[in-house]
Structure 1
């Protein structure tokens, strides 16, 4: 079943007509801290499995899932749908589409998006291994390994390199994400309906 998605303009209209719309940003805490939609809660994708039962039991009404480009929100939607929570939609294009539409955001310290960091690291490793391969031919194998990893990431819609990069100090927010507060907000939103 293809993901249910709506565009940024539809999300803006939904927020205007229903201010209680629950916006769940599944990006890393550092990405969320860098820029997010006013009123959105941060529940990183890496935390969803751990709290899946509670989310599906406590959520009520429609939930809009947001990430940087849409793929992590789609992963989250798949997990929630599989667990029995049907009323979720993905904001297609994610924060990229939101900001491109000129929609308002809360800004914090600027950080590169995780996808951009993956492109930088993967591209740099490939470039350096090809250059090193000019002097030591087996080094080209590293480029092949990275290429295989990126192919696997595209096919499975996962990214081991991205998950590893989230652990770097650069990707840590100034304030730790309060998952309990996010889960409480999901529950509170359900009780308001």
Structure 2
């Protein structure tokens, strides 16, 4: 069974009537921006949702909730929906969104930026300095392949230790 999708207007009306808005994105994504009424419950740790009344699940674009709709439906016995278009649609409809531009970029975006820069550096240095620099691009490509196959990303683990990704004491 999958959950029905509803428009931002319908979701907003349900929230005004007491429905729970549950954002299934990771904590770092949620910290950067989220619907004002949303509660963060990351998909990878989400357990049964037992709150009374309707529940509306959302992610950034609606894709994650749509793909995981059968799993979300299994975690919820009562009335539940997926927000069509996710947070992007919620924002576009003019509903309140909490933004924190001082929060670090999501770890996966940091990985994409770092990997892209390392691959470009390997290619440029390989052409301009010495062909051995092409190995840098190959190393990063192998790391990304390993991350995709195993679900563990060494670069993400390393980036999460960086000072800008740590909470201030």
Normalization by structure 1: what TM-score?
0.60
Which ranges in structure 1 are unaligned for 5 or more consecutive residues?
176-193
SS of the residue corresponding to residue 110 of structure 1 reads coil
- Separation (CA, whole Å) in 2 of partners of 1:166 and 1:88: 36
Count of residues in Structure 1 that have an aligned counterpart in Structure 2: 162
- Separation (CA, whole Å) in 1 of partners of 2:43 and 2:156: 10
Match of 1:97?
Answer: 89
Q: Which one of 52, 56, 63 corresponds to residue 64 of structure 1?
A: 56
Shift of 1:162: 9.2
Structure with the larger helix share: 1
Q: Give the stretch that moved more between structures: 119-128 or 138-147.
A: 138-147
SS of the residue corresponding to residue 27 of structure 1 reads coil
Q: Give the stretch that moved more between structures: 98-107 or 81-90.
A: 81-90
- Does 2:119 correspond to 1:126? yes
Aligned in 2, Cα 1:47/1:100: closer, same or farther, shift over 3 Å? same
- Does 2:76 correspond to 1:79? no
- Separation (CA, whole Å) in 2 of partners of 1:101 and 1:165: 37
Match of 2:42?
Answer: 44
CA contact (8 A) 2:53 2:78 kept: no
Greater relative contact order (Cα < 8 A, sep 6+) = 1
CA RMSD of aligned residues (A): 3.8
Which ranges in structure 2 are unaligned for 5 or more consecutive residues?
none
Matches within 5 A, 1:1-193: 4-16=4-16, 18=17, 20-48=18-46, 52=47, 55-56=48-49, 58-74=50-66, 77-83=69-75, 85=77, 87-111=79-103, 113-114=105-106, 116-134=109-127, 135=130, 136=132, 137-145=134-142, 148=145, 152=148, 160=153, 164=157, 167-168=160-161, 170-171=164-165
Shift of 1:25: 1.6
- Separation (CA, whole Å) in 2 of partners of 1:161 and 1:99: 33
